[in-house]
């Protein structure tokens, strides 16, 4: 048999984003490409640390102190530091908001650029010790005309984001990105140290067969959520019920939803009015990607990307996924009960 020759024309993430910038013509300065390069580097670094932590955990050294006698830095704190340092040093940012930090970081004038990055450096961290997939989620705004970079620059609806994405740390690292012109997926080629385009133009199927909710919260669910879930678990005669898949790691649950279709939900309920997920750096980026892939993202009563945030760490109810599935859910929210 003939040997398969390696491709000599790799489409790396940087090449792909650059091509996109060229397409936009003179309006693009290349700054976004440079910012995305910085983000890629943080994802590679975090991926390495996640892998190391998993190995340490497998051989049973977790919780032990290192040679200097210091406690191992928690992976989520480490990931936050990696991102803050790299984003500041990129010279392309003005405001940073991280799930790990109470306050926004305003970048000093010397290093100030025109972008604001909102991020969850390591989402799903409760899953780390079990080796389950976790990820980094990020969204990017451009500072407003005339602004030097203030918190108000990120208290804007999600549809004003210029880019959003996540990196999932699993058996490989997968970076899924949208700059507002569809969604593309890249896989880290460890030997090259580059993210390679492996999932061009991701389109979420218009209907799926999977629902992804934490049904342990059922006793708190509002009626529309409960009624919708019942409708897919006990469908009309002749139809098959949906399958349940819930990892409890938003990046992994949304990644599967984008690729296979279906619906992911973390609703507002009787205990938590706005659910659990954070608007700026969890709901917005995932809603942006979902819409860019042809799906829908709603709170049940309105489009997520239209919400105007009033504080950086606020939460919001989330339902996202295949267009037809989310529309089915919305019918239950629109019927007065």
Listed in sequence order, the residues at least 6 apart from 190 whose beta carbon sits closer than 8 Å to its beta carbon are 172
Smallest distance from the beta carbon of 77 to ligand AHM, in angstroms? 13
Residue 82 binding result from Mg ion, ligand AHM, none, given CB thresholds of 5 to 8 Å by partner type: none
Nearer to ligand AHM, 119 or 186 (CB): 119
Smallest distance from the beta carbon of 282 to Mg ion, in angstroms? 6
Q: Is the dihedral of CA 146, 149, 150, 156 positive or negative?
A: positive
Residue ranges that bind ligand AHM, judged by CB under 6 A: 99, 120, 123-126, 214, 248-250, 253, 266, 276
Smallest distance from the beta carbon of 281 to Mg ion, in angstroms? 8
C-alpha 18, offset from chain centre: 22
Smallest distance from the beta carbon of 109 to Mg ion, in angstroms? 31
Nearer to ligand AHM, 248 or 294 (CB): 248
Cα–Cα distance for residue pair 75/192, rounded to 1 Å: 25
Cα–Cα distance for residue pair 302/123, rounded to 1 Å: 25
Residue 276 binding result from ligand AHM, Mg ion, none, given CB thresholds of 5 to 8 Å by partner type: ligand AHM
Cα–Cα distance for residue pair 92/207, rounded to 1 Å: 39
Cα–Cα distance for residue pair 285/292, rounded to 1 Å: 10
Cα–Cα distance for residue pair 133/175, rounded to 1 Å: 13
Nearer to Mg ion, 126 or 201 (CB): 126
Q: Find where tokens 């006793």 sit.
A: 219
Nearer to ligand AHM, 157 or 248 (CB): 248
Nearer to ligand AHM, 320 or 329 (CB): 320
Residue ranges that bind Mg ion, judged by CB under 5 A: 120, 123
């Amino acid at each position: 048999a003939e040997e398969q020759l390696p491709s000599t024309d790799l489409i790396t993430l940087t090449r792909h984003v650059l091509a996109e910038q060229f397409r936009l013509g003179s309006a693009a300065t290349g700054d976004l490409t440079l910012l995305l390069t910085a983000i890629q580097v943080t994802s590679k670094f975090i991926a390495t640390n996640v892998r190391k932590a998993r190995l340490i955990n497998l051989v049973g050294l977790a919780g032990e102190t290192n040679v200097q006698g210091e406690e191992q830095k928690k992976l989520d704190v480490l990931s936050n530091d990696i991102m803050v340092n790299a984003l500041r040093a990129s010279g392309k940012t003005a405001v940073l908001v991280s799930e790990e930090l109470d306050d926004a970081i305003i970048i000093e004038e010397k290093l100030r650029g025109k972008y604001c990055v909102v991020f969850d450096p390591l989402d799903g961290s409760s899953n780390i010790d079990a080796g389950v997939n976790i990820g980094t989620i990020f969204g990017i705004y451009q500072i407003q005309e005339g602004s030097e970079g203030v918190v108000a620059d990120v208290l804007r609806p999600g549809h004003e984001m210029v880019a959003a994405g996540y990196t999932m740390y699993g058996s490989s690292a997968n970076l899924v990105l949208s700059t507002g012109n569809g969604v593309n997926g890249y896989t880290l080629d460890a030997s090259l140290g580059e993210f390679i385009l492996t999932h061009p133009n991701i389109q979420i199927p218009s209907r799926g067969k999977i629902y992804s909710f934490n049904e342990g919260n059922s006793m708190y669910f509002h009626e529309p959520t409960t009624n919708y879930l019942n409708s897919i678990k006990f469908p009309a005669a002749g139809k098959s019920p949906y399958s349940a898949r819930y990892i409890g790691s938003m990046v992994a649950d949304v990644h599967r939803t984008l690729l296979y279709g279906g619906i992911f939900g973390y609703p507002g309920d009787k205990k938590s009015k706005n659910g659990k997920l954070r608007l700026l750096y969890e709901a917005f980026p995932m809603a942006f990607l979902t819409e860019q892939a042809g799906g829908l993202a709603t709170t049940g009563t309105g489009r997520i990307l239209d919400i105007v945030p009033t504080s950086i760490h606020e939460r919001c109810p989330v339902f996202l996924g295949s267009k037809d599935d989310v529309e089915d859910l919305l019918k239950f929210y629109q019927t007065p009960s």
